[in-house]
Structure 1
């Protein structure tokens, strides 16, 4: 074999070996990439598997609360005899006070008396503060003054004493300040304890013959 042939064979062999080596490296590279992808997919699968396990292992619990709310009841009633209490809810339906001296026959210097009582009825669920105010007048009420007392028993006369809600000498058209008193609600389905009142009306020296008029008072209860 000539030297030329030997060199040719050697070159051919080297080329084949070089190609073979490159092919082997390429194959190994492909296998390595597939292996890394497989590991990444497996790792991803493991992460997903762990996440699913955590979700399945979660515990949940709830509590609920509810409330029911109902309004109470409130009603103030009055009495002119201390035993029969009824509604007198408007000025037009005011309770007519019964005076000891006929209010239609007053003369200068005369004094007349009338009792009244208020209470919270049996349906009422809340205690109250009752405020007294002037409800208005009609006709002529000049030369007439009054006093309003809170008393311990029902009744009203010249000797009756008590707590002054409106001081003596107040014009029949006025209620000075904001006189008030507490009123308790009843218990066990009963009406509340009543508060007793006494009106004392005095005619002045200048009372004119034949004059006539009327005055109305309002007792306004506010629940507490």
Structure 2
């Protein structure tokens, strides 16, 4: 017959076995899955062109490749400029075929020959947006100008000109004619030749 001491030992062993059983665990496999996505990004095309006759368009994207405007005196006047006379020249702008966004055009500065050797300080200018089909002359150069300058090397009063892209990728945008009016003051100096260059910048609207 087991003594009480032996029973305590057996119970202790059984208790120890139970404790070992508690430490047993089952490990389950982890499941995972992934999804991926990619995108392709193509930039639109954008190109501004100009024309001195509304027919032949080209890029004039630097001062060195500027289009030469053909200024004319009003009917009845011949020869070169004289004090208080005005001359006029048209310049057409449009977005080239393949351009994918409309744009806003602004006059973006002007440069002219130095006043010490030219009439740049004695010539002012105004630039007007004309209605389709209008002729650039004294009758049409009215209203709110796109830009003005009290001398050929100054610019004030800038107004935005909206340009539309072509209906398809092979169509150019609608052309807009700008009319330049240059006016001599009363003290225009004789025999001097003066060159001026205007810059226009178009910014896409999309």
Corresponding position: 1:179 with 2:159: yes
CA RMSD of aligned residues (A): 2.6
Alignment check: 8 A CA contact 2:123 2:183 kept: yes
| CA deviation profile, 1:97-132 (whole Å, cap 9, x unmatched) | 012239972222332110001112123222222221
For residue 38 of structure 2, the aligned residue among 66, 75, 93 is 66
The alpha-carbon deviation at position 199 of structure 1 amounts to 0.6
Corresponding position: 1:195 with 2:170: no
Paired residue secondary structure (2:45): coil
TM-score by length of structure 2 reads: 0.81
For residue 117 of structure 1, the aligned residue among 53, 71, 92 is 92
| CA deviation profile, 1:179-206 (whole Å, cap 9, x unmatched) | 3222222332022222210011222222
Alignment check: 8 A CA contact 1:130 1:182 kept: yes
The alpha-carbon deviation at position 72 of structure 1 amounts to 2.2
Using the TM superposition, name which of 148-157 and 111-120 deviates more.
148-157
For residue 138 of structure 2, the aligned residue among 133, 140, 158 is 158
TM-score by length of structure 1 reads: 0.75
Larger radius of gyration: 1
Q: Which has the higher contact order (CA 8 A, sep 6+)?
A: 2
Query: Which has a greater percent of helix?
Result: 1
| CA deviation profile, 1:57-91 (whole Å, cap 9, x unmatched) | x6544433333323222221111111222111111
The alpha-carbon deviation at position 163 of structure 1 amounts to 4.2
Which ranges of 4 or more aligned residues in structure 1 deviate by more than 4 Å?
none
Alignment check: 8 A CA contact 2:110 2:152 kept: no
Query: How many residue pairs align between the two structures?
Result: 195
- Alignment match, 1:3: none
